[in-house]
Amino acid sequence: MAIGDCRLGITRGSREVGRRELRLRALRRRIEEGGADAFLSLAPPDNQYLTGFTGSTSGVIVTRKEAIFLCDFRYTEQSRRQVAGFTFEEVAGSFAKSVGERLKALGVSGAAYDPACLTVAELNGIKGRFRGKLHAVPDLVGALRIVKSPDEIARIRRASQLAEKVLEDLLKILRKGLTETELAARFEYEFKRRGAEGAAFDTIALFGPRGSMPHGRPMDVPLRRGDVVLLDLGCRKEGYCSDLTRTYAYGTIPGAWFEEIYQVTLKAQGAALRAVRAGARCRDVDAVARGIIADAGYGKYFGHGLGHGVGIEIHESPRLNQESDIVLQEGMVITIEPGIYLPKRGGVRIEDLVVVTKKGCEMITRSPKKLKVLAA
């Protein structure tokens, strides 16, 4: 096990290092509250939040006095550029076993972990090397990630601006015969070409009746005049995600039914956006949109939650649905995305990203939402 020191990364900017020190301080408080004297993680999103490392594989151990970052040979150079404020250790073989060995060497009596972020195999690997108590404490880091810093919000905003510009440009190249898969691929290519790390999730591009599938997979289905065009897209930039959905008609509106569900969805989304504010319960905001859709006779065609948090991951806490009692806090970044999906006809979803504020919300998304018929 090679040992180095990433504390030299302090030259990357005292503000960034300061943010990470605050995060470690908050995490240490949560570790103590959980009855442990250490924390372990093999989860890339949590590790990115704590260390700045964006690679796919790493380990983190935090005690009252130590902050240790583990990676393997593939990421040694990258981690030395990205990680600040952590002691660096290069490991070989199983990360779970390496974490267990390191916990044992530190003399830790009890280590906390997020049960949603470890596999059974990883947990067994740690137990095979560490005989101390392992405390399952849900949302250890997730609870810290739920409210975004100004820097995080700025990164999400830049990711959204890039994705929205790609959307604006690609709407101009739609043509009869273009397939869903071709269009989805163009989005993902343009994201990378314009400076994003890539798509935040698999781009959804659905034409015609296939728009009734909320998370349908693009296929070799050609675009035809009169089709519904449902696009759900986002990119990852500077380690943070964006998320946006818009629905259009191509060439001509497919029928009065489409215009009706579009206007109902738009009304529901507008009302939900006005209901967002610090102190509001997620389920109550969901109920605002759901009630409008139900009153219009389409309640059974809106079967998913109203929205979710966005950050390092595309789906984060909080969840805005019928069961969530989470109270919105200032600085949360969430989506508001009601939809109506009519089998064999098509669907409508309108999705925006917003920042929760004390008295309302601040829009991140700027793309127009007025019903638009794309030129054929």
Position 20 scores a pLDDT of: 85
- Whose tokens are 């690997």? That residue is 125
Span 320-370, pLDDT tens digits: 999 999 999 999 999 999 999 999 999 999 999 999 999 999 999 999 999
Nearest Cα neighbor of 36 from 132, 154, 142 is 132
Boundary (domain end) residue, out of 144, 172, 189:
144
Say if residue 64 is in the same domain as residue 176.
no
Position 13 scores a pLDDT of: 56
Say if residue 114 is in the same domain as residue 175.
no
Asked, as a colleague might, if the bond just before 45 is cis with ω within 30 of 0, I would say no
Residue 76 sits in a domain whose CATH number is 3.40.350.10
Say if residue 174 is in the same domain as residue 114.
no
Q: Are 328 and 276 in contact (CB under 8 A)?
A: yes
Token code pair at residue 76 = 């040694």
Q: Are 119 and 43 in contact (CB under 8 A)?
A: no
Say if residue 245 is in the same domain as residue 98.
no
Residue 156 sits in a domain whose CATH number is 3.90.230.10
Say if residue 162 is in the same domain as residue 202.
yes
Stated length of the chain: 376
Q: Are 184 and 204 in contact (CB under 8 A)?
A: yes
Boundary (domain end) residue, out of 112, 144, 176:
144
Say if residue 135 is in the same domain as residue 166.
no
Say if residue 310 is in the same domain as residue 361.
yes
Say if residue 364 is in the same domain as residue 317.
yes
Tens-level pLDDT at each residue, the chain (376 residues): 444 444 434 344 567 778 889 999 999 999 988 889 999 999 999 999 999 999 999 999 999 999 999 999 999 999 999 998 899 999 999 999 999 999 999 999 999 999 999 999 999 999 999 999 999 999 999 999 999 999 999 999 999 999 999 999 999 999 999 999 999 999 999 999 999 999 999 999 999 999 999 999 999 999 999 999 999 999 999 999 999 999 999 999 999 999 999 999 999 999 999 999 999 999 999 999 999 999 999 999 999 999 999 999 999 999 999 999 999 999 999 999 999 999 999 999 999 999 999 999 999 999 999 999 999 9
Position 14 scores a pLDDT of: 64
Measured CA to CA, the distance from residue 247 to residue 106 in angstroms comes to 55
Say if residue 238 is in the same domain as residue 358.
yes
Say if residue 202 is in the same domain as residue 121.
no
Boundary (domain end) residue, out of 144, 176, 192:
144
- Global pTM exceeds 0.85: yes
Say if residue 135 is in the same domain as residue 183.
no
Exposure letters 334-351 (e unless 16+ CB within 10 A, then b): bbbbbbbbbeebbbbbbb
Span 226-255, pLDDT tens digits: 999 999 999 999 999 999 999 999 999 999
HEC profile of the chain: CEEEEHHHHHHHCHHHHHHHHHHHHHHHHHHHHCCCCEEEECCHHHHHHHHCCCCCCCEEEEECCCEEEEECHHHHHHHHHHCCCCEEEECCCCHHHHHHHHHHHHCCCEEEECHHHCCHHHHHHHHCCCCCEEEECCCCCHHHHCCCCHHHHHHHHHHHHHHHHHHHHHHHHCCCCCEHHHHHHHHHHHHHHCCCCEECCCCEEEEHHHHHCCCCCCCCCECCCCCEEEEEECEEECCEECCEEEEEEECCCCCHHHHHHHHHHHHHHHHHHHHCCCCCEHHHHHHHHHHHHHHCCCHHHCCCCCEEECCCCCCEEEEECCCCCCECCCCCEEEECCEEEECCCEEEECEEEEEECCCCEEECCCCCCCCCEECC
Q: Which domain holds residue 308?
A: 150-374
Say if residue 158 is in the same domain as residue 194.
yes
Q: How many domains does the chain have?
A: 2
Query: What is the spatial order of strands in the sheet that 240-241 belongs to?
Result: 198-199, 235-237, 240-241
